[in-house]
Amino acid sequence: MPPFLTGLIPAAFVLIWASGFVAARYVAPLSEPLVFVAARLSLVALVLTGIALALRARWPKDGRGWRDGLVAGVLMQGIYVAGVFWSVKHGLPSGIAALVGSLQPLLTAAASEPLLGERVGPRRWAGIGLGFLGAGLVLAPKLGALDPAGIPPVALAVCLAAMLAMTAGTLWQKRKAAKADLVTNAAIQFIGGAAFAVPLALVAGEAWPELSLPLGLGMAWSVLVNSVAGILLLMALIRRGAVAGVASLFFLVPPVSAAIAYLMFGETLTLVQIAGMAVAAAGVAVASRSR
Query: How far apart are alpha carbons 195 and 192 in whole angstroms?
Result: 5
Q: What is the pLDDT of residue 265?
A: 67
Q: What is the pLDDT of residue 279?
A: 82
Helix and strand numbers (H, E) in the chain are 14, 0
C-alpha dist (Å) from residue 246 to 14, 99, 241, 287:
11, 18, 7, 9
Question: CA triplet 44, 50, 54: central angle to 5 degrees?
Answer: 145
User: Is 132 within 8 Å of 76 (Cβ atoms)?
Assistant: no
Q: Average pLDDT for consecutive 10-residue bins of the chain (291 residues)?
A: 62 82 77 92 95 91 89 93 86 72 76 70 78 76 59 85 91 76 89 95 89 91 89 78 66 75 71 79 70 45
Q: What is the pLDDT of residue 153?
A: 84
The dihedral sign for the CA sequence 260, 264, 265, 267: positive
Which residue range forms the structural domain that includes residue 206? Answer: 3-288
What domain count does the chain have? 1
Q: What is the pLDDT of residue 256?
A: 79
Q: What is the pLDDT of residue 291?
A: 45
Cβ-Cβ contacts under 8 Å for 34 (sequence gap 6 or more): 82, 85, 86, 197, 200, 201, 204, 206
C-alpha dist (Å) from residue 144 to 141, 153, 171, 247:
5, 18, 33, 26
- Predicted structure pTM score: 0.78
Write the single-letter amino acid at 60.
Answer: P
Query: How far apart are alpha carbons 19 and 177 in whole angstroms?
Result: 27
Task: Supply φ then ψ for residue 178, to 5 degrees.
Answer: -65, -30
